[in-house]
Amino acid sequence: MAAYLCPPAVIHGEHTVKTSQIVADVRDRHPDAVWAPRVDGIAASTGIENRGWMLPLESAVAPGSGNGLPAAGIGPAREALAGDGFTEHDIQRVIAALEAIPAPQTVQERTAPAWAAVQSYGERAARGALQIAGLDPADVDCVITSHSTTPALPGLDVALANRLSLRNDVMLLPATQWACIAGTRSLALAADLVAADPDRVVLVVIAEALSTTYQPADDTLESLIVRLLFADTAVAAVVTGRRRPESVLRLDAAWNHTLPGTQDLHRLETRADGTHFVMDRRGPRAVQETVTAMWAWLHARYQDDPTSWHPDVLLAHPGGTRVLEYMEQTMPAAWPSGLLDHSRDSYASGNRGGAAVFDILRRAHDAGQKPGSRAVLYAAAPGLTATALEGEWV
């Protein structure tokens, strides 16, 4: 499995959302929540002061176009009030008051503008990746796409085929449910594709508008954490079967792992007011199990040289800093410190979901890597499933 990766293009959300803005919003909406007295400490514990969104915070917290009393409900409301002895004057006042109450945004109101942004950001990332690789849209043979929080059919793959004017025979491979493993699993799939045809050019594009999961009405602790963590990012990169002058990383091996019975720990739920990300507090411990399994894979891969081999950089997206700390605690003691520095740096401006590993990879590349240095890429996602790759900087 030899595949070559060019530096990724990374497009961050252009609207800066401060943690202080989020804290102010949740304080105003949920002053009596059980976590309200601890909100400052919870926010500080994320280590995130700013994150970029594709749309401004105002778009997430704005009321919907409807009201608290839809037209279909006026008749029944009138009948109920009249049956309770209200006068016509009082009935009119009650109905007017109900109609003045703004309704939450609908699924369409939340998703439609985010989906438009995902397509625009995805196109920008794709064009950037092709420019970095020294290629044109006509050179692309396959496109792998992922976008988890903006469901659409057709999806980002078809949108890019039209926006980039790709050839009619380009293979389109959408993977909208990969979520946080989109970065590593797309590279593993791309490596398999170029192994079958070394002349094939694969373009990977991941665009995540995770801010669509910001639900103002939710008052659970988990919902608060989701609002504080997520950022919006679009990334793209070119994978080839033959080394190009622009290639920076050779991918040598891939590993996949799925934990049975963990599908409910992290999930998306579509409700009347949009998409909700639901997570269980047991999630980080389950993710740790995939980390342990990955260590075992690497040990088996280098069992002939277990004492001297180590990665020179570890590009990891396990969902949060808690698991990063676990990775540091459980990796072999002889490994050098600082392997996860670029991962931590990425988290400091938000959890980017499927786009995270490419963002981390770009940070590592920009910091400078010596040819021959070894890299391990790892990510875990709802399912609970994980994918890792091992390779060498060229």
pLDDT digit of tens for each residue in the chain (394 aa)?
689 999 999 999 999 999 999 999 999 999 999 999 999 999 999 999 999 999 999 998 888 877 666 666 777 877 887 887 888 887 788 777 766 666 778 888 888 999 999 999 999 999 999 999 999 999 999 999 999 999 899 999 999 999 999 999 999 999 988 999 999 999 999 999 999 999 999 999 999 999 999 999 899 998 999 999 999 999 999 999 999 999 999 999 999 999 999 888 888 788 877 788 888 777 788 899 999 999 999 999 988 776 678 999 999 999 888 899 999 999 988 899 999 999 999 999 999 999 999 999 999 999 999 999 999 999 999 989 999 999 999 9
| C-beta of residue 245 within 8 angstroms of C-beta of residue 380 | no
| C-beta of residue 65 within 8 angstroms of C-beta of residue 104 | no
Query: Three-state SS for 154?
Result: coil
Q: What is the spatial distance between Cα 150 and Cα 61, in angstroms, rounded to a whole number?
A: 18
Structure tokens at 47: 């280590």
Q: Which CATH architecture has domain 249-393?
A: 3-Layer(aba) Sandwich (3.40)
Backbone φ and ψ for 141, nearest 5 degrees, come out as -105, -25
Residues 379-389: tens digit of each pLDDT: 999 989 999 99
Look at residues 367, 375, 324 and name the one whose alpha carbon lies nearest to residue 348. Answer: 324
Q: Which CATH class is domain 3-62+105-240?
A: alpha beta
Domain spans in the chain, listed from the N-terminal domain onward: 3-62+105-240, 249-393
How far CA 45 is from CA of 34, 38, 322, 348, in Å, comes to 18, 11, 10, 11
Please give the DSSP secondary-structure letter assigned to residue 54. Answer: S
Residues 253-292 as b or e (16 or more Cβ within 10 Å = b): bbbebebeebeebbebeeeebbbbbbbeeebbebbbebbe
Same fold, 3-62+105-240 and 249-393: yes
Residue 309 CB neighbours (<10 A): 16
Q: Quick one: residue 368, left, alpha or beta (phi over 0 = left, psi -120 to 50 = alpha)?
A: left
Q: What is the spatial distance between Cα 349 and Cα 17, in angstroms, rounded to a whole number?
A: 10
